Amino acid sequence: MTSRHHLPQELRWRAIGRLEAGQSQAEVARWLNMSPSEVHRLWKQFLTTDSASRRFSQGRPTAATSVNDRYLSLCARRNSTATPSQLRSSLAAATGRLVSTSTVRRRLQEADL
């Protein structure tokens, strides 16, 4: 077997297709001439993200998603006197996601509120 290498996009999707068709991860690994653990990582990535692309992330993941941003702007429009800390606590109560008050301020500023 070869050492860990990056598969071209086309081969990644063909491997996913073989796994979806019912081939075992070991069979796909032999077909690709790579270790089964790499095929396992590829399959796990596909199951969690529905994508087989190699995506490089820059820095830390964002604390608030676009859905959370919309929720913050909606709450701010409904209650124009709410402070960022109050909006932060309402977001935490609704979604369970904790964000900082500075993030709330930044998101409201981006929404022109």
* Predicted TM-score of the model (pTM): 0.46
- pLDDT confidence tier of residue 55, bands split at 50, 70 and 90: low
pLDDT greater at residue 100 or residue 50 = 100
CB 101 within 8 A of CB 84: yes
Which pLDDT value is given to residue 26? 92
pLDDT in tens, 37-51: 888 988 888 887 777
Per-residue pLDDT, averaged over 62-68, amounts to 76
In the chain, what are the domain boundaries? 9-49, 66-111
Q: Which 8-state DSSP code applies to residue 50?
A: S
